[in-house]
Amino acid sequence: MQTSATRFWVCPVTSGASFTGISPPPSFSRISVMYNESTLIASIIIMYNIRSRGRALNPPKGFTLIELLVVIAIIGILSAVVLASLNTARSKGQDAAIQSDLSTVRTQAEIYYGGDGSSSYGVEATDCTMGMFVADATIARAIEAADDTNGLAGAVACNTATDGTAYAVAAQLVSSTAYWCVDSVGNAKQVTTALGAGTVCPAS
């Protein structure tokens, strides 16, 4: 069968058969279709437009409420973990600063002993506002810095023996209720017992 536009031929299954008096070309043995390039391009464009309209009418779905709540919960948990880690790191950094300040006190106390103290740690002192703890500017600044770091005014304990032969200084740490203590014997350690009126760091 030949269409009115003679664009393509359709021939019966049996080669050589005729239909309405028209014989198909001899090269066609089964149903064959001939079309030109313009017809193919037009068909592709039509199919693309149909699919594009389909996608526009059925846009991708957004997140559900449950999915959003799950994401928010996960973010909250992660934030809490990060904040806890940051607080721990900050506290340990403050503890290190206090230890450094008291190390300065111990070093400068020995300089004072061999200098202005004339082989003495100064007059008797029962707090940080007496004796060499105020007479030596470097020691005074270090004690003030330790006080500022732990945020507890007067949290640093300072004692000097009556005869000026011994001293001890202890400051409360930030990360725990323990103390960092230094003395004239050479101790520089963490203790859980408050210094009190002692001139030697507690044993524990």
Residue 143 has pLDDT above 60, yes or no: yes
Least confident stretch, 24-33, 35-44, 111-120: 24-33
How many Å apart are CA 126 and CA 197, to the nearest integer? Answer: 7
Residue 20 has pLDDT above 50, yes or no: no
Least confident stretch, 6-20, 60-74, 154-168: 6-20
How many Å apart are CA 51 and CA 107, to the nearest integer? Answer: 83
Please name the residues in contact with 133: beta carbons below 8 A apart, sequence gap of 6 or more: 125, 127, 139, 140, 143, 158, 160, 169
- Condensed to tens digits (0 to 9), the pLDDT of residues 162-198 reads 999 999 999 999 999 999 999 999 999 999 999 999 9
What are the distances in angstroms from CA 62 to CA 71, 72, 76, 153, 171?
A: 14, 16, 22, 56, 57
User: Tokens for 2?
Assistant: 């030949």
SS3 content of the chain, % helix, strand, coil (to 5): 45, 10, 45
| Inter-residue contact 167 to 184 (CB < 8 Å) | yes
- DSSP class of residue 164 equals S
| Model confidence band, residue 21 (pLDDT cutoffs 50, 70, 90) | very low
How many Å apart are CA 43 and CA 7, to the nearest integer? Answer: 15
- Condensed to tens digits (0 to 9), the pLDDT of residues 52-99 reads 665 555 555 677 888 889 889 999 998 888 888 887 888 899 999 999
* Mean pLDDT, residues 112-125 taken together: 94
Nearest residue to 170 via CA among 109, 112, 115, 106 = 106
Distance of CA 171 to the CA centre of its chain: 30
Residue 147 has pLDDT above 50, yes or no: yes
Supply the pLDDT for residue 87.
79
| Angle at 145 (CA atoms; ends 144, 146), nearest 5 degrees | 90
How many Å apart are CA 124 and CA 160, to the nearest integer? Answer: 5
Supply the pLDDT for residue 150.
83
Alpha helix positions (H), the chain: 37-57, 65-114, 132-135, 137-150
What's the CA dihedral at 38, 42, 44, 50 to 10 degrees? 180
